[in-house]
Chains A and B, each alone.
Chain A
Amino acid sequence: MNNIKIITEHWGKINPLKIEDYVSVGGYEALKEFIEKSDSEGALKEVKLSRLSGRGGAGFLTGVKWEMVSAQKGEKYFVCNLDESEPGTYKDRLIAENNPHLLLEGLVLSALTIGAKKSYIYLNGNYEKAKEVLARAILQAQERKFLGTKILSSKYSLEIEIFSGAGAYICGEETALLSSIEGNRGEPKMRPPYPTECGLFGKPTVVNNAETIASIPWIIQNGGKKYLKCATKLFVLGGSVKNMGVFEAPIATTIDEAITKLGGGMQDGKEFWFAQVGGASGGIYLEKELGGPILGSGAILVVDRTADIYDLLLSWTGFFRRESCGKCVPCREGTFRLHEIAERLVDGEIADRDKEALNDILWTLENTTFCPLGKFAATAVRNAIDKLGILK
């Protein structure tokens, strides 16, 4: 494993509340370079070369997304998705809390590249500390002219606003997030049109995860080709591993490597059972399946043999039962039923008709819901039935 740290390098070493700390380690150099060259097409080219993909979970190529918006004229928006409500995931919060200026620099670079003059950071409503840190960082960056009108006395301007959410998992979905900023219920919107064509207030909009954005300064400074070779990703380890927390490692890290090398293996005396990769919406991986890449948000929950699978089952179904937006029938009613049946299963009262119903619900969640949340709601339960045999 190579040890290049792109995002976490200065965590814990610099004071997140002081912009001079960030500047002293070479911060905002990428921005200066960008302003000097004044070549947004060049920057876009580098990002495309880097093949940087969305770090929120969907993995869409960032360069492609940017290109769609930067090609359009007129008003547009750049939105940083820091809603991060996937259970077990808190990497974006740490980015904001440990090195807010890296995120801001990335955000300014991204927004200027696509030609946006206004940018929102959609922050998880529960992240009070991150909000304070970011708000302070924005003020400092404005003072030093890294932000605001005429950035570093150039033709570029950008206004960044923190938009604090109010507690709804679904707002991490980009169209729901935009609905939320627009003062609506955070319900997903029909796609197409995609946000890149008709996004915030009907204008072309790029929505990128905070981690994606935090990788941009490095790419601008070191070039896309170099990034392609050493791309990293943040992984969040939880459960029965020795070292819990957020780790930066090459993107191709396998689940097994993450658990043994980053997480330091299992806690003493605990025997590995399975890992859930990607939060509550993630799939279940048994010991023999750990060779694959880490998909989704990068969260890995390691579960040992002593864990109560029923507690987890109720946790998953309860989560989606609470967090479904209620818009479409299969998700609203399906997640409700799923939780109800899970409760009966835990009480040992599951009937044959429940098993049949369970299959039907999972099928309709996977195939007919309005947005991906429905499919996510089914993943873990489906895996638990197939791989862990909870119905037997």
Chain B
Amino acid sequence: MQNNVTVEKILVSYDPEVQNLLPVLKKISAVFGFIGSKDAEIVAEYFGLSLAKICEVASFYDLIKTRKPANLEIKVCSSGDCALGSSAEIIQEIENYFRIKAGDEFNPKVRLEKNSCLGRCAEGPIMIVNGKVFEKVTVSSVHRILGEYV
């Protein structure tokens, strides 16, 4: 997909109006995995805004990334129901498995983050691996799920 989609092509389908900024950034981040500084410059020019402004907005939102994502991005919900449903143990299990800490950005291959509620509490605990959502995760099923990615 990355071969034929360019930032310019994405921009063409949006008017350069402020209310389109967030959708554009979200789209670019979804297509390329993140918004690099070169891409951000193109967006800034298109909307007639400063690069600082683009970066400021992009870095605010969870679903827009401003740095290259790790090969394996794991997110575990840690709110309400999921927290009651052993998400803390799941996080610990993953931390031990990869020898990483949730929230750390040192490992370029694997990144583990705690996630806020996705509104799927009845199906919790929720885990997201590279954008794919897994429901009713347990400490034992974590290994099976992650096994598919390693």
Contacts and interface: CB of A to CB of B under 8 A. Distances in A.
Answer whether A and B are interacting partners.
yes
B78 interface: yes
A238 B23 contact: no
Nearest to B82: A315
A109 interface: no
A319 interface: yes
A293 interface: no
A259 to B, nearest CB: 15
Contacts of A311: 83-84, 87-88
A86 B116 CA distance: 9
Interface in B87-136: 87-88, 114, 116-122
Interface stretch (A44-52, A301-309, A365-373): A301-309
A238 B88 contact: no
Contacts of A156: none
Contacts of B18: 182-184
Given A164-B26, A301-B80, A315-B83, A85 B19 contact: no
A244 interface: yes
A325 B57 CA distance: 12
Interface in B1-29: 18-23, 25-26
Contact of B63 (A86, A167, A181, A322): A167
A34 interface: no
B80 to A, nearest CB: 4
A183 B84 contact: no
Contacts of B88: 308, 311, 314-315
B58 to A, nearest CB: 9
Interface string B50-84: 00000011001111100000000000001111011
A191 B83 CA distance: 34
A245 B122 CA distance: 6
A125 B80 contact: no
A175 interface: no
Contact of A239 (B56, B81, B117): B81
Interface in A232-246: 236, 238-240, 244-245
Interface stretch (A25-33, A88-96, A144-152, A352-360): A88-96
Contacts of A236: 121
A287 B87 CA distance: 26
A223 interface: no
A164 B62 CA distance: 13
Nearest to B21: A183
B84 A239 contact: yes
A144 B25 CA distance: 33
Nearest to B114: A318
Most B CB contacts (10 A, CB to CB) among A308, A311, A314 go to A311
Contacts of B60: 168, 185-186, 325
B116 A169 contact: yes
A166 interface: yes
A163 interface: yes
Interface of A: 84-90, 93, 124-127, 163-169, 180-186, 236, 238-240, 244-245, 276, 279-280, 299, 301, 303, 307-308, 311-312, 314-315, 318-319, 322-323, 325
Given A166-B63, A319-B78, 8 more contacts: A88-B80, A126-B118, A127-B119, A166-B25, A244-B122, A311-B83, A314-B83, A318-B114
Q: Which 7 A-B pairs have the closest CB atoms?
A: A167-B62, A87-B79, A90-B119, A183-B21, A166-B61, A183-B18, A315-B83
